Amino acid sequence: MHQFLPYAWFGGKCVPFAEATLSVATHALHYGTGAFGGMRALPNPADPSEILLFRADRHARRLSQSARLLMAELEEETIHAAIEAFLKANRPTCPIYLRPFVYTSDLGIAPRLHNIETDFLIYGIELGDYLSPDGVSCRISSWTRQEDRSLPLRGKISGAYITSSLAKTEAVKSGFDEALLLNSRGKVSEASGMNLFIVRDGVLITPGVDQDILEGITRASVLELARAMGIPVLERAVDKSELLIADEVFLSGTAARVTPVRRIETTDLPVHRPVMERLRERITAITEGRDPQYDHWVTRVRLDS
């Protein structure tokens, strides 16, 4: 059961969560014509009156770009200002997950993106571990990741997540925690809502942006950190069989953070994950404001200002 934060950003202001409601005729509800983001925030362990946001600038930029894919305008500055107001209204005392959402708010039945009103909202939930930090089991989904020629996969378009929903439920109902999707060329793409990494012979490997993946912000952060830490990195196509013989397999995402994969189908994977552990420890230190080298990745919001 989700614990929602008491206030939402709705209609250009903060209102009680229960009052942030939509009509049953809202266009985006019927056609998936929305785009969302996901951001983690937590009180600064050293100063609870300060909230730390991980890579807020990148999240705001991606959401603004996603809005453009829907032929809508949502400036990054508007997103930042709304998030700051949202945090000050809610004053969270534990780690939270924010869901900003831009959507077609018109009431009507014609599927379109022209001559239509759009709006923007934010709500939040208390969130610890989305997936078990000890590792998850995965199955290869029978569903195929969409192609960028049929959907704009560079954005988090809400309608695209029907495939993720089908794959996730298929995995859980067949006894696994998570699903891994192949693309239309039979190469590994991503999980239901996370990017994927493998390690082979000390090299960190991840499907490239030409494999119909979402350009994940945590993924980009892991890659940048790995290069800075001297870990060899390759972005390339990954075959299904490589998953079964990899030295390490892990997932990354805003909700999932960095999560190891312990089993794929019937194959148990190694429990010694030195590369992943180094990266996970570094990401954790950065998000908690304990890494001066990457302090520019953290946005600090004062609740008492």
Instruction: Write the pLDDT tens digit of every residue in 252-288.
Output: 999 889 999 999 999 999 999 999 999 999 999 999 9
d(CA 197, CA 219): 9
305 has pLDDT over 80:
no
pLDDT of residue 130 exceeding 90: no
At residue 129, the pLDDT reads 83
The encoded tokens of residue 27 equal: 């266009």
Whether the domain at 7-126 and the domain at 136-287 fall into the same CATH topology: no
Please state the domain extents for the chain.
7-126, 136-287
Q: What percent of the chain has pLDDT over 90?
A: 94
Q: What is the pLDDT of residue 297?
A: 97
Structure tokens at 48: 């609870």
Residue 157 has pLDDT above 80, yes or no: yes
Beta strands in 105-247 (DSSP E): 118-126, 136-144, 178-182, 188-191, 195-200, 203-206, 233-235
The model's confidence at residue 128, banded by pLDDT at 50, 70 and 90, is confident
Q: Residue 265 has what pLDDT?
A: 97
pTM exceeds 0.75: yes
Average pLDDT over residues 161-175: 98
Find the Cα–Cα–Cα–Cα dihedral 9, 13, 15, 18, rounded to 10°.
Answer: -50
Class at the top of the CATH hierarchy for domain 7-126: alpha beta
The highest-level CATH class for domain 136-287 is alpha beta
On average, the pLDDT of the chain sits at: 96
Tokens 């209204």 found at = 89
Percent of the chain with pLDDT over 70: 100
What would the pLDDT profile of 20-79 be if each residue is shown by its tens digit?
999 999 999 999 999 999 999 999 999 989 999 999 999 999 999 999 999 999 999 999
> Does the pLDDT value for residue 1 go beyond 80?
no
User: Residue 137: pLDDT above 80?
Assistant: yes
The pLDDT value given to residue 274: 98
Q: Answer whether 85's CB lies under 8 Å from 100's CB.
A: no
Backbone angles phi, psi at 244, to 5 degrees: -80, -15
- pLDDT of 69 reads 96
